[in-house]
A and B are shown apart, each in its own frame.
Chain A
């Protein structure tokens, strides 16, 4: 209903007044006659002044307003309550963005205290404002870089007005003493491609086939078939090793690829319905959800979702495409495992079969690989005797 007003007109023979109103081009939307001298009518709010001008002996009483005027009147009537509600809401939002507690979860009190101190440098401490997702990620990165020898992993999780920090301490493995007497042996069955010896006696040559565990650089220094002394053999051996690799390619391929687009999506969750607040959600994305406001009585939640947009890639492979895809996958996987001096020598396809909705491709791969491994020398009695001799 538009801006209308319900008024009561009192006076002698009100029907005459109605005629007067009609002559003044005032529209009456509803007339309820109470008795001969009383009538209730609904007119446009703008016509109220005109009626007051022509009313003469008649009494006019406003009973109710409709439309925007009613809302205005209601707001004016309850302005203190509404003001308090607004202040309360602002205060609630403000308080939910304040940190009240920081809890570090770890057994070591020293590490806990160190972390609390470190976090306070980044203003993650009680009575400070909460941080955004990007800020938290940055802080985590800085702390992990600074304490890379002490901390293996950390997670800062916000739970309402509390930050929970989970830590994983880096446990240092004691470096093996390189001083013990040892041989350099083959790590795998291989054909030796390169021998780079620093200490010890080379017992194999380039091109030799060695089995796993065969000595390549010996720590026993022999003279005339007699062991004169024992040393810690040092060096690097590269050899040609072979693998038989099987890879399965689904005929129907489905993958998610991250784009550069990121956003924080805020929405209200009322029951099962989501109402966007600022932006729309990405169509496909990887999400990290954070509940900002939750009410236990009413099923309303204010949720922030950090979204990383992803592109969905779907493909149905043809038979001829499978070999190429499998070849690339295998090459990629093997390359990942190789270090700087290692390399793939050749990749040959052995077999290609189809099973269920997958194509199985078998490859024979030849790789130049570090085959250096160490084996401690067990000193026998003779050697010990020799050592004891001057």
Chain B
């Protein structure tokens, strides 16, 4: 358990979600599920994150990071 924590700290491969000023930055996701103007679904190692809102745009889409912009109303973890 402790080794996993250290590994996560050193390699920075822990799932993170940061919300700031109508922007959601998701780091270390697994893959993109679905996205349109009102909903974005992102898979991660322990489940799904569903972001709901209006005029949602994926601004950046990297291998380990996704940045979503728009009028965000709800972030749901499932």
Scan residues 20-78 of chain B and give those whose CB is less than 8 A from a CB of chain A: 31-32, 35-36, 57-63
At the interface, is chain B mostly helix, strand, loop or mixed? strand
Within 8 A of B (CB), among A1-36: 15, 18-19, 21-23, 25, 27-31, 33
A15 B35 Cβ-Cβ under 8 A: yes
CB-based contact B61/A28 at 8 Å: yes
What's the Cα separation between A6 and B58 when bound, in Å? Answer: 16
A24 CB to closest chain B CB (Å) equals 11
Is A22 touching B59 in the complex (CB atoms < 8 A)?
no
Taken together as a complex, chains A and B put the C-alpha atoms of A309 and B58 apart, in Å, by 65
The residues of B that contact A27 with a CB separation of less than 8 Å are 61-63
Number of A-B contacts (CB under 8 A): 30
The residues of B that contact A18 with a CB separation of less than 8 Å are 35, 58, 61
- Report A-chain residues with C-beta under 8 Å of the C-beta of B59: 30-31
Question: Could you tell me if B57 and A22 are in contact, using CB atoms closer than 8 angstroms?
Answer: no
Expressed in whole angstroms, the minimum distance between the Cβ of B29 and any Cβ of chain A is 10
Contact present for A22 and B61 (CB under 8 Å): yes
A33 to B68, CA, bound (A): 12
Query: Which of A15, A22, A29, A31 contacts B31 (CB under 8 A)?
Result: A22
Asked if B57 and A25 sit within 8 Å, CB to CB, the answer is no
Contact B36 A23 (CB under 8 A): no
A30 — which chain B residues lie within 8 A by C-beta? 59-60
Nearest B-chain residue to A36, judged by Cβ? B37
Which residues of the other chain, B, contact A22 by a CB distance below 8 angstroms?
31-32, 61
**CB-based contact B32/A31 at 8 Å:** no
B58 and A31 contacting across the interface, CB-CB below 8 Å? yes
Give the complex CA separation of A145 and B78 in angstroms. 102
A25-B62 Cα distance, complex, nearest whole Å: 8
Bound-state CA distance A15–B63 (Å) is 17
> Shortest Cβ distance from B62 into chain A, in angstroms?
5
Report chain A residues within 8 Å CB of B61: 18, 21-22, 27-28, 31
Which residues in B have their C-beta under 8 angstroms from that of A29? 60, 62
Besides A18-B61, A31-B60, A33-B57, 17 other A-B contacts (C-beta < 8 A): A15-B35, A15-B36, A18-B35, A18-B58, A19-B32, A21-B61, A22-B31, A22-B61, A25-B63, A27-B62, A28-B60, A28-B61, A28-B62, A30-B59, A30-B60, A31-B58, A31-B59
Which A residues contact B (CB, under 8 angstroms)?
15, 18-19, 21-23, 25, 27-31, 33
User: 4 shortest A-B CB distances, which residue pairs?
Assistant: A28-B61, A27-B62, A33-B57, A22-B32
